[in-house]
Copies of this chain bind each other. A is one copy, B any other.
Amino acid sequence: MIVTLCRKVLAAALLGICGASLAQAQSPDPLPSWNDSPVKASIIDFVERVTMEGGPDYVVPQDRIATFDNDGTLWVEQPLYTQFVFVIDRVKAMSNQHPDWKTKEPFKSVLDGDTEKLLSYGEKGAVQLVAATHSGMTTVEFNDIISTWLKTAKHPRFKRAYTDLTYKPMIELLDYLRANDFLTFIVSGGGVEFMRAYTEQCYGIPPWQVVGSSGKTEFRMWDASPTLVKLPELLFFDDGPGKAEGINHYVGRQPIFAFGNSSGDKEMLEWTANCKGLCFMGLVHHTDAVREYAYGPNSDVGRFPVALLEQANANGWSVVNMKDDWKAIFSWEKPSP
């Protein structure tokens, strides 16, 4: 009880400018934006069982580790991953200093606005763009660039800041878990600095509980001031098998709860499913073309292959049907009746 109260006090201190507000007043329904459904019931059943002292499934608070993918699980990832939009904007902003980019791929496709061709360069192209735009400055300078961008950039369809596009039901879920003394972590393929710029305000998740992909830095003394310079070299790639490796490396404890939405989350869910006692594995399925997007097996962004759905069904993992399971998707949206 005291622990729960304390977490609420801490969370309330972090209220930000995000779409959903954290640490809402306790409600008889801990997940008010979720329709009554098997997924909602299984979440509540799981939380009640692992928190029931003396029960057969009880887990001590320090072992209540919950890991969440970010893009497509906690916020919108269509039509492009938010950080990819940021990278595109950075290439445009930096192009004056790089005249060769006009004829050099994948930069040329960015400057031509040819998204289809850009996506055809796949992961290798993305790595080139990230290396060029995420290095050569200090960490402080880079964080300022991200914060400024997040304040001004708008989503092409929703015409809102990207930080307004977090999923209200998932924010409620994060809050519900923390109210039950879970530790919530993000485990995402996205860049760790990019995420840390908003995860504390938008999700109530502090920087050291954000696991992501990252580049190397180098400590240098500049004008007698210690400085970290960002290098164009990968340090850690946190996707697919990297998510299981990342959980071990950064969190250092086996999760008992994990949520993802695409093939990049497969190994995180398998790793979580390997827990000793009761564990919960969930996937968000994007099925709502009207309120958000409907996509899956054939999507370049957030691919959810049929094989993953079959694996989920075969192993009793929960799959959220966004259209049917969520009363509201965004905090600024009127809940459906």
Contacts and interface: CB of A to CB of B under 8 A. Distances in A.
A3 B14 contact: no
A192 interface: yes
Interface residues of A, number: 50
A2 B9 contact: yes
Nearest to A249: B214
A6 B14 contact: no
Nearest to A236: B235
Contacts of A225: 274
A18 to B, nearest CB: 16
B241 A219 contact: yes
Interface in A245-262: 245, 248-253
A196 B139 contact: no
A267 interface: yes
A60 interface: yes
A232 interface: no
Interface in A1-23: 2-3, 5-7, 9-10, 13-14
Interface in A216-237: 216-219, 221, 225-226, 228, 235-236
Given A217-B249, A226-B273, 6 more contacts: A3-B10, A183-B206, A192-B252, A208-B251, A218-B241, A228-B244
